[in-house]
Amino acid sequence: MSILVVSGTGTEVGKTVVTAGIAANQLRANRSVAVVKPVQTGVEGDEPGDLAEVQRLTGADALFEFERYSDPLAPAAAARLAHRPMADLKVAATRIQELAAQFDMVLVEGAGGLLVRFDDAPTTFADLASWFGAPILTVVHASLGTLNHTELTLAHMRSHGLASAGVVVGSWPTSPDLASRCNLRDLEAISGGRLRGVLPESAAQRGQFEFGQAAYEGLDQSLQGCFDAIAFRAKHDPT
């Protein structure tokens, strides 16, 4: 059994697409996979959330959402505004461990960044990962500002004894600017040589077959793909 936590340096960095890509590669390798979204925010009632996007892109059907709040806020703030109980991540951790006994891999997608508050304790996504000792894959953006956000996230993980599974660029521009291309070298250095993948910004607009191919080509062997970070950087890095 294996649990992989998918977090990010912030919101809108491509966590859901990366999570879907990993799930697609697991299914391609004939491995069973469950995808968990402990808390979904910004979605009303029965509206499709992040797990619906994972299902659309991959066909995966073992999808588990534990809590949902309608306002597009951090989970703790969304719960307060809705006058509802805050998410209990210890209960979520127990459910995730039960799933890990049934599936080859359990992917756990966070909300926002690693230290977003789920309650007033505060309990964060980093706490959830630490309770079952799962490695954290950090999804980052490519453009200006990403180096500071990535360094801060990974520095927190190191200082708190959290295992890093590396970083993935969640949305590589079709026409990358100079900062994006130069950032590849530094992202690789910051992550200790663990740039695990780069997914194109168009990936989420593709059908299942085309998305599966993009996931295989855009994620490395540790994530059941064939991405080569050195070759990708050689192609794009102007330095």
| Residues labelled catalytic | 37
Cβ pair 5, 136 in contact under 8 A? yes
Give the closest residue to 15 by CA, choosing from 31, 44, 32, 38. 38
Give residue 147's Cα distance to chain centre. Answer: 17
DSSP string over 194-207: -EEEEEETTGGGS-
Helix (H) or strand (E) holding 30: none
For 238, counting Cβ atoms within 10 Å of its Cβ (0-12 exposed, 13-18 middle, 19+ buried), the class is: exposed
What gap in Å lies between CA 100 and CA 228, rounded to an integer? Answer: 29
